[in-house]
Amino acid sequence: MDETTYPSASLSHQRFYQAEQEAEFVEGHANASPQQQDPAYQLAYNDTDFLLRQELRPVRFQLELMKAEMLLDEAGIASTLVMYGSARIPAPEQAQATLDAAVTPAARAIAERLVAKSKYYEEARQLGALAARANVIGRNRLDKGKRHFVVCSGGGPSIMEAANRGAAEAGAETIGLNITLQHEQAPNRYVTPHLSFQFHYFALRKMHFLLRARAVAVFPGGFGTFDEFFELLTLIQTGKMQPIPILLFGGDYWDRVINFDAIAEEGLIAAEDLNLFHRVETAAEGWARIVDFYALETGD
């Protein structure tokens, strides 16, 4: 039988136009009739008003899950070092301005305590740098060539900025997972632009914090940090998540605001649950725990 060839055909060529191409076709139409001008006629995926309807919440959940997941995968990121902490602790170079802004004795007392915690800005910065300089690259079949311990923060100021800053100054890309708030919180300038994400749903944001996390550093913080820290503890305590290093910076602060031992003494957690996290004070100490936990070959 003679071999038949089709010059214009290819087995790998798509037989349907992609959604982006179809949308371009629509944009080129005149849309002169009442039917074409009505919102009902819009392509569903181009209809923002439709996508924002209450009934479409499950679809928006899926989009927020998939967008960051796909882009992080395309960026070759296998795992992250997540850093939680306050958005209010000043950088050391901003400490004096924080004190100067306090106009009452009570406000000054609070400012002084915040300034005292500015040392943790530097520790977060150094931890980010240590992770970046380690340049841990996957070697097995599943993660070969992908990057591990990429620094990930909430993308905002203070401790979050310090984490991204340390990694960026060491020449590495960093991730920022911002959340939409009534008063805008812009991404800090050390987040890599194509790894800067914005979320509407706190639940999806928190999921992305932990999907790739292989270690978490928790610095002094408020309600948001408490929420993230305790959810992480609960996931590991209940066996929903395998143990990872949880580094608790600022022991004096945490012991003042939470009596962990009392919770165990009351019988509401097991004594061994207190071993789910480790108190550390310096970036070097924290990174050493990560290295020991995973038996990393750092080349140092």
Going by pLDDT thresholds of 50, 70 and 90, the confidence category of residue 35 is: confident
- Rounded to whole angstroms, how far apart are CA atoms 147 and 135? 7
Q: What percent of the chain is modeled with pLDDT above 90?
A: 80
The set of residues, in sequence order, having a beta carbon less than 8 Å from that of 78 and lying 6+ positions away, is 138, 143, 146, 147, 148, 212
State the span(s) of the chain assigned CATH 3.40.50.450: 60-294
Pull the structure tokens for residue 233: 């503890």
pTM, to two decimals: 0.90
Please report the pLDDT score of residue 36 as a whole number.
Answer: 84
pLDDT tens-digit map of 94-147:
988 999 999 999 999 999 999 999 999 999 999 999 999 999 999 998 899 999
Rg (CA), the chain: 24
Please report the pLDDT score of residue 294 as a whole number.
Answer: 96
Going by pLDDT thresholds of 50, 70 and 90, the confidence category of residue 58 is: very high
pLDDT tens-digit map of 143-200:
999 999 999 999 999 999 999 999 999 999 999 999 998 876 789 999 999 999 999 9
Hey, what CATH topology would domain 60-294 get? Rossmann fold (3.40.50)
- Rounded to whole angstroms, how far apart are CA atoms 63 and 204? 10
Pull the structure tokens for residue 59: 């679809």
Question: Side chain identity at 272, as an amino acid letter?
Answer: E
Q: Is the pLDDT of residue 293 over 90?
A: yes
At residue 65, the 3 state secondary structure works out as helix
